[in-house]
Structure formats: structure tokens, C-alpha cells
Amino acid sequence: MFNIFKKKFSGESIVSPFDGKLINIEDVPDPVFSGKMVGDGVAIEPKEGIVYSPVNGEIIQLFPTKHAVGIKSSGGLEILIHIGMDTVEMKGDGFESFVKEGQNVKIGDKLIKFDIEKIKENHSIISPVIITNMEVVDKIKKRESGIFVESGKTEIMKVSLK
């Protein structure tokens, strides 16, 4: 029976910035991310060393070491993509950026290239994709972990705003 009071979940779609395996944020080997201290989201174990934009929006932060990038989506979500764990220690070695702060990007635009093998030598490559401005979020619907996600194509989260 059709229920006119049942609200369909709609919101902003975030697609994967990497090709790789989707992982629950709670399973990330870093308490800052797994404890959701930075925000909520998912993580991906990348298969290749390229980060693509998961949304249409603007680059609001590019870390000098190029190991992380912040994007403000056209819908107002602030998304942090952090490549690997403790990769700030690499001081930018093995990372190349294709964007700058203030630049507009579209889903699938290449943001950062990184040497995945160099990261694996001393760090986990598990890479969180986090919504940092949780105060504007009403609800997050996440894809199930363990699936293979494709950059620019596979929806990893749908977020509704307050």
C-alpha cells in the first residue's frame, strides 16, 4: 500500500574519489578518524594513486604536503579527503596536486596523484572521506563496506541537510 506520509530519502550524493574497496569509518586504523573526531563519513582502500573530485564544488583547502584536500560542495557540504594514514610525515614526497585553493571542480576531475607504493612502505593507504561540517547534516546514508567502488561513478554517501 502506498504511504503518502513516508518521506523518501533525498539529499546530496557523494561519489567515490578513488577506485578501491569501501571501508567503514569505524574500521580506520586511526582513532581521530574512527572516533569521528573530524566528522563522519567512510574510507576507501585505493587501488591506484589518483584522487578525483567526489562532488561539484570548490577546493577550500589544499594541505601544503598535498596528502589531503578539502572541498566545499555546491550543496554546502565540506568534505575532507585524507590520503592514507600519517602521510603528513611524508612532507609531500610522492604527492602531486592538479588543483589549487579557490578552484572550482566537477565530479571526476583529477585532484591529486600519489605514489601508492611509496605510501605502503611505511603507512596504511586507507583513505578517509569525511564530512567535516556535521552541524549542517541531518542524516547520512552510507553504502555497505567491502564493495568495490569506482571513482566518479559509485555513490558512497547520500547526505541530507538540516
At residue 101, the 3 state secondary structure works out as coil
Residue 43: CA atoms inside 13 Å, Cβ hemisphere, count?
A: 24
pLDDT tens digits, one per residue of 80-95 = 999 999 999 999 999 9
Selected catalytic residue, list 42, 50, 68, 82: 82
Q: Is 100 exposed, middle or buried (0-12, 13-18, 19+ CB in 10 A)?
A: exposed
Q: How far is CA 33 from the centre of its chain?
A: 12
> Which fold is adopted by the domain 20-161?
Glucose Permease (Domain IIA) (2.70.70)
Please give the residue that has the higher pLDDT: either 7 or 148: 148
Q: What are the sequence ranges of the domains in the chain?
A: 20-161
Residue 112 has pLDDT above 60, yes or no: yes
pTM metric for this prediction: 0.93
For the question of residue 123 being annotated catalytic, the response is no
Give the pLDDT confidence of 30-66 residue by residue, as tens digits.
999 999 999 999 999 999 999 999 999 999 999 999 9
CA distance 93 to 76: 32
Is the Cβ–Cβ distance between 147 and 45 less than 8 Å?
no
Residues 121-147 pLDDT 10s: 999 999 999 999 999 999 999 999 999
The answer, yes or no, to whether residue 1 has pLDDT greater than 50, is: no
